[in-house]
Amino acid sequence: MSMPKGGNAPVEAGAVRIELSWRTGPGVPDVDASALLLAGGKVRDDGDFVFYNQPAHASGAVRHEGKRTANGTAADVLAVDLTAVEPSIERVVLAASADGGTFGQVPELSIRVLDATGTKAGGAGSPGAGVAASVGAELVRFDSQDATVETAFVLGELYRRQGGWKFRAVGQGYDRGLAGLATDYGISVDDPGQAPVQPPASAPAQPPASAPAQPPAPTSLQPPAPAPAAVPGAPADAPAHSATPGQPGASTPAPPAHTASPSAPTPVRLSKVTLTKDAPAVSLTKQGGTSGALRVNLNWQMRPAPQGSGWGRKLSRALAGPAALDLDLGALYELTDGSKGVVQALGNAFGSLHTPPYVHLDGDDRTGAVAAGENLTVNLDHQHLIKRILFFVTIYEGARSFGDLNATVTLTPQRGAPVDFSLDECTVPSNVCALALLLNTGSELVVQREARYLVPERGVSPQRTVDQAYGWGMRWAPGRK
């Protein structure tokens, strides 16, 4: 249901997907979705701001799921579990910010609220509770058509009303970007900007007392304990021997994490670097991100199945199957002493942060249901010992191709701006993708976007295919996890 600016409608779903979409093209700036959870018109603390640098609320109720692009249209997605929103939260503001331009340059900007569960919201005995609905159905839509010089927008909001939830189309613009919008609602940011053009009428004049912010980057190099579970899976390759002292995949116990002394609250960081085909590399050295932990995240979701016939439909059928899609994030590494190896879930080669290879895989998301996706961490305190690291992803089971996958890669250094990019649409029968390359040139650390889908030859594993494409020169043997 499309609605005019200022209109409202009930949201009878237990959970919703918020799709912020626009038409891409030359000169069109990138757009980012964000959400603010409000109590009394303001956030309670900086943790109530969900966006690309802070992708999940502590309650789990709101998540930023990243971008997808298809057929000239891009979308940035938020997931909201209305049943999990804390009782003190009265509104969830749904906002957008333009990166590198104004919204007057963004055609066909719209926000859609989609049913994510197929079950209407409400407790036992409430109207509509437990009534079946269509998963993915559009509940409400608002098309923004009057943007000019604005660099941030509140497009809509979810708000409580008489025990349920409603959506209101707002369409309120700001000319000071995401920083101006965020500070108006009580967020402390590292580049606060100035006041917005027109503050929303419902926002009170005085913000509540500030609370410590949640830093968006890891503050400790202590890895979480891996929890691999031996389950049957498709044959693949594991390293046949260790090229480094000890086993390359052995989880060496790490020393106790350093506890930082108390300090002032860290403002939310809004800066980021987005890599594209035209600008595929960035220097971490110039960004100030050459020490501490570098977190590499892969997050994905499935595109709706394409209609009609042809290659796209074949890829959709290839992704359909009885097993959940299990993607594995991994890394090939080469150290300055010439030693090489792999970090991956296969063979329980989870790596180590404080001993070679200084790369650690946090865990294995076998279903894609983990909100944080899969993560690798690199210890940049030992960057002088690292020559190169290639981050890659393979399909372990549940599909034969990346054809209908939307994936976002984010590299978040402990210091410096996060680096992100979206994977291109896959048009080949590929089950392995080279994501990004971290290079130590001797004078600086560089992150290079690869986003390269590879097609293994018959009888050649995905891991060996990546090795051959990038000249790693390792010996491989069949393995399982």
The pLDDT value given to residue 302 = 63
Higher pLDDT, 363 or 19: 19
Is 89:38 a contact under the CB 8 Å cutoff?
yes
Residue 7 pLDDT greater than 80, yes or no: yes
Confidence category of residue 221, pLDDT binned at 50, 70, 90: low
Q: How far is CA 243 from CA 337, 380, 476, in A?
A: 10, 21, 12
Confidence category of residue 458, pLDDT binned at 50, 70, 90: very high
Q: Name the residue among 322, 318, 328 with its Cα closest to residue 349.
A: 328
Q: What residues contact residue 104 under an 8 Å CB cut-off, 6+ apart?
A: 147, 148, 149, 150
Residue 164 pLDDT greater than 90, yes or no: yes
Q: Are strands 91-99 and 164-174 parallel, antiparallel or unpaired?
A: unpaired
Query: What six digits make up the tokens of 165?
Result: 């939830």
Q: What is the mean pLDDT of residues 190-216?
A: 39
Helices within 262-359 (DSSP H only): 284-287, 311-319
Confidence category of residue 326, pLDDT binned at 50, 70, 90: confident
Residue 324 pLDDT greater than 80, yes or no: no
Residue 309 pLDDT greater than 60, yes or no: no
Residue 442 pLDDT greater than 70, yes or no: yes
The pLDDT value given to residue 364 = 55
Q: Measured in whole angstroms, how far is the alpha carbon of residue 219 from the centre of its chain?
A: 19
Torsion of CA 171, 176, 181, 187, to 10 degrees: 180
Q: What is the mean pLDDT of residues 5-17?
A: 94
Least confident of 183-187, 218-222, 280-284: 218-222
Confidence category of residue 325, pLDDT binned at 50, 70, 90: confident
Confidence category of residue 169, pLDDT binned at 50, 70, 90: very high
Average pLDDT, the chain: 78
The pLDDT value given to residue 368 = 45
Higher pLDDT, 416 or 215: 416
Amino acid identity of 213?
A
Is 104:147 a contact under the CB 8 Å cutoff?
yes
The pLDDT value given to residue 424 = 82
Q: What is the mean pLDDT of residues 222-236?
A: 41
Confidence category of residue 312, pLDDT binned at 50, 70, 90: very low
Q: Name the residue among 106, 111, 77, 98 with its Cα closest to residue 179.
A: 98
Residue 214 pLDDT greater than 60, yes or no: no
Q: What is the mean pLDDT of residues 92-121?
A: 88
Higher pLDDT, 79 or 219: 79
Residue 344 pLDDT greater than 90, yes or no: yes
The pLDDT value given to residue 199 = 38
pLDDT in tens, 262-280: 444 567 878 888 888 888 9
| Cβ-based neighbour number of residue 225 at 10 Å | 11
pLDDT in tens, 26-80: 889 889 999 999 999 999 999 999 998 888 899 999 998 888 877 889 899 999 9
Q: How far is CA 81 from CA 41, 62, 92, 216, in A?
A: 20, 6, 11, 22
188-196 long-range Cβ contacts below 8 angstroms, 24+ apart: 188/46, 188/213, 188/265, 188/267, 188/268, 189/267, 189/268, 189/269, 189/270, 190/267, 190/268, 190/269, 190/270, 190/271, 191/270, 191/271, 192/267, 196/152
Percent of the chain with pLDDT over 90: 47
Measured distance between the N- and C-terminal CA atoms of the chain, rounded to whole angstroms: 47
